[in-house]
Amino acid sequence: MEVTASIDKENKTNIWGGGTSPLKASYGKIMMWFFLLSDVFTFSGLLVTYGFLRYSYPAYTGPVSAFKPSMDYWPIPEKIFDAVPFLHGIHLPLLFVGIMTFILILSSVTMVLAVEAGQRMDRNDVTKWMLWTIVGGLAFLGCQAWEWSHFISGTEEGMALSNGVIVHGANLQVNEYGPPLFASLFFFITGFHGTHVASGVFLNAIIFYNVVVGTYDKRGHYEMVEKVGLYWHFVDLVWVFVFTFFYLI
Amino acid sequence: MEQVVSIEVKPVNKKKVRKLWKIAMILGIVTAIEFVMAFTLPRGYLLYAGFIALTLLKAFYIVSEFMHLKYEVKALIWSILLPTIFVIWLIIALLAEGDYILNSLY
């Protein structure tokens, strides 16, 4: 046994000798990072798909003000997403998506404030900020539900197909905004992100419950809040990209 | 095994909190700039490059400050960033190839 002990002592300074943690982070945090990395791959796959399919249709070349939806070219997003709840019939391009973006950014800030409070072992503050984060997440999901239902039900005018049939709204076969793939990609990309937000709210709710009943005070640290915070910021990060690639470009 | 732990609540780190709100404001302002750009500048590759640059700027703030990656050790930073850089390269390569494939199809 003495031999082993002396080897251990010798290897104390050796990086492969055990007892060192080169990433200086707990295993749970590292695993969360690598899970998020795998999620980056998934969303990148969707982004590539979007780019491939979008450029399988010609871009609209006329003046933006004269834009009319057609099956022949890819629509301009600002001409499609121009509705805001309670302001029916007013053309307010991308305003509602902008509001959604601000809601998500704000809920990201409240999350990082919860993490900060957790590092101070301040249960009341963590409770407060986690609750705001959950409220923000639910508000975002509500906005997205409205956005989807408006997209699906469509406008009064609709779009006339070449055979004279008028299409209202959108489904997976046909939509009044442009090629069928436009609606499919809208549903898939924003839906996949929305699923992430929904599961984020669910995780936040579990952590919130644990904070309230004092689990982390007993444990002596609030690291779970940091882990779930990483996930929540990632959801915000993905929305930043969805906003640019789906709504702006 | 229930044991009474005395918990020491530390006061709010005002400097840190102010910094976090400042970053939130930067994110909001950059989003507002993107909005203005979308409605004032002509559509084209130059505008898209601007959008992507501003998006990456926002991503940098979220990942480095909110997700705290800037303050982790170098090994962790690079094990996250390096694969991401390769993925971004893959996206650019596939978009360029996709354009070519679709052009040769039609």
3-state SS assignment for residue A117:
helix
Q: Virtual CA dihedral for A75, A79, A80, A86, nearest 10 degrees?
A: 180
Q: How confident is the model at residue B1 (pLDDT cuts 50, 70, 90)?
A: low
CB B20 within 8 A of CB A109: yes
Closest to A118 measured CA to CA, from A242, A221, A14: A221
Q: Per the domain annotation, does A172 fall within a domain?
A: yes
Distance from CA of A3 to the nearest CA of B (A): 33
Residue of B nearest to A122 (CA): B9
Q: Is A217 within 8 Å of B99 when comparing Cβ atoms?
A: no
User: Which is more confident, A85 or A133?
Assistant: A133
Question: Which residues of chain A does B54 touch, with a Cβ-Cβ cutoff of 8 Å?
Answer: 244
Q: What is the pTM of this model?
A: 0.89
- Taking the C-alpha atoms of residue B8 and residue A110, their distance in angstroms, rounded to an integer, is 22
Note whether B102 contacts A52, CB cutoff 8 Å: yes
**Of B5, B62, B84, Cβ closest to residue A240:** B62
Look at residue A26 and tell me if it is in a domain.
no
Count: domains in chain A: 1
- For residue A74, the domain's CATH number is 1.20.120.80
Q: Is A172 helix (H, G, I), strand (E, B) or coil?
A: coil
Mean pLDDT of B39-48: 85
pLDDT confidence of residue A1: 45
Quote the tokens at residue A243: 């906003």
pLDDT tens readout for residues A144-181: 999 999 999 988 788 888 787 888 889 888 888 989 99
Residues A183 and A159: their CA atoms lie apart, in Å, by 14
Q: What is the mean pLDDT of chain B?
A: 87
Q: Is A52 within the bounds of a domain? A: yes
pLDDT at A224: 95
What is the SS3 assignment for chain B?
Answer: CCCCCCCCCCCCCHHHHHHHHHHHHHHHHHHHHHHHHHHHCCCCHHHHHHHHHHHHHHHHHHHHHHCCHHHCCHHHHHHHHHHHHHHHHHHHHHHHHHHHHHHHHC
Q: Which residue has the higher pLDDT, A2 or B98?
A: B98
pLDDT in tens, A20-74: 777 888 889 999 999 999 999 999 999 889 888 888 888 788 788 888 888 888 8
**pLDDT level of residue A201 (50, 70, 90 thresholds):** very high
Show residues of chain A in contact with B88, CB under 8 Å. 44
pLDDT beyond 70 at A10? no
Residue A30 lies in a domain: no
Name the residue range of residue A217's domain.
35-58+68-248
Q: Do residues A203 and A231 lie in contact, with contact meaning Cβ atoms separated by under 8 Å?
A: yes
Interface predicted TM-score (ipTM) of this complex, two decimals: 0.88
CA gap A119, A235 in Å, rounded: 22
Q: Is A54 on the interface with B (CB under 8 A)?
A: no
Q: Is A213 within 8 Å of chain B by CB?
A: no
Report pLDDT for A189. 94
Q: Which amino acid is at A149?
A: S
The letter for the amino acid at A234 is: F
Residue A23 DSSP one-character state:
T
Q: Where are the domains of chain B?
A: 13-70, 72-106
Amino acid at B61: Y
